[in-house]
Structure formats: structure tokens, C-alpha cells
Amino acid sequence: MIVLISPAKTLDYSPTNITTETQPEFKKEIGELVAIMKKKSSKAIQELMGVSENLAELNVARYHQFSDVFDGDNSKQALLAFKGDVYTHIDVASFSEEDFSFAQGHLRILSGLYGLLRPLDRIQPYRLEMGIKLKIKSQRSLWILGLKNHQCNK
């Protein structure tokens, strides 16, 4: 069984002693979305996401700092980075190696930027909710097609 949860808006990039990690599976699609977001002004992001001017400016900076390389300097494992009610109740601080291994096989996080994340996939700071409408050159619905193909191949 796979449990699917949504990401949290709050992120925590404080250092962690967890060294096990994986890379996001949809790097091409992530790059395409980041390229689109890098072109947007603070005002455009504010209107698109319905956020404050400060949050819009923060996300402009995040997208401009976004790297193709996901490492300990710019990213953190998804299950450790997201902070919200669901993540508080998961209580990742109490996880053993076995717990992380089980979660890696049975938990997925559905993200507007990253698509389907495994708990130990590294993520860089971002904000892009699933409901935000972006014009994508390659296809009408980037994640629907990619996720369907991903699940069919599993």
C-alpha cells in the first residue's frame, strides 16, 4: 500500500544528521517548471499564488537560486524539510533506519514542483501548489501524464 500526502507550505532547512537520501525522479519536469518560474516577477508570483509581497520576493529568490544539483548545501530530504500538521504527527524525529526504509517504500508526497516525492528525495526550498495554473509548452498537464506513466511502470 502507498500512502499519499500533500506537502506543507512551511519548510525547515535546519541541519539534520540523517545522511540517507535519494534524488527526485522527475528532474526534467522540475527543470521546466523552474525555468518558467524564474521568468516571473515578484508581482506576477504574488498574483499567481495569492501571497504577500514578502513571500513573493522570497520565492523569486528561491527560484533564481535553484540548482540542477541537489546536495547538502541547497536541499534536504522531503520528509525532514516539510513542517505542518501532518508532518508533526508523523514524528520523523523518532524514526529509526527501519522506519525511514518503510516510509521510503510506502509513502509519497504529491508536490506542485516535484511531482511525486519519496520521503528521502532531496528538495530545494520552493512554493508551487498543485492548483496553480502554468502554461507548459510540452503538454497540457505536466504532472497528470508524468505520474500516470510513472505508476504504470511500477
- Taking 90 as the threshold, does the pLDDT of residue 34 lie above it? yes
Q: Tell me, what's the pLDDT at 147?
A: 57
Q: Tell me, what's the pLDDT at 134?
A: 72
- Taking 50 as the threshold, does the pLDDT of residue 152 lie above it? no
Alpha helices in 3-141 (DSSP H): 27-38, 42-49, 53-65, 78-81, 85-90, 97-106
Q: In sequence order, what are the residues at sequence separation of 6 or more whose Cβ sits closer than 8 angstroms to the Cβ of residue 119?
A: 77, 78, 79, 100, 103, 104, 107, 109
Q: Is 127 helix (H, G, I), strand (E, B) or coil?
A: coil
Amino acid identity for residue 46 in this structure: Q
pTM score, whole prediction: 0.87
Tell me the CA distances in angstroms from 99 to 14, 75, 81, 92, 120, one per residue in order.
Answer: 21, 21, 17, 9, 12
- Taking 80 as the threshold, does the pLDDT of residue 13 lie above it? yes
CA 32, 109, 100: angle at the middle one, nearest 5? 120
Instruction: Please report which confidence band the pLDDT of residue 84 belongs to, taking 50, 70 and 90 as the band edges.
Output: very high
- Taking 90 as the threshold, does the pLDDT of residue 136 lie above it? no
Domain that holds residue 96: 3-152
Sheet containing 115-117: give its strands across. 3-5, 107-111, 115-117
Q: Tell me, what's the pLDDT at 149?
A: 54
Q: What is the mean pLDDT of residues 61-85?
A: 96
Number of structural domains the chain divides into: 1
Q: Tell me, what's the pLDDT at 130?
A: 79
As a whole number of angstroms, the distance between CA 55 and CA 125 comes to 12
Provide the β-strand partners of residue 123: 76
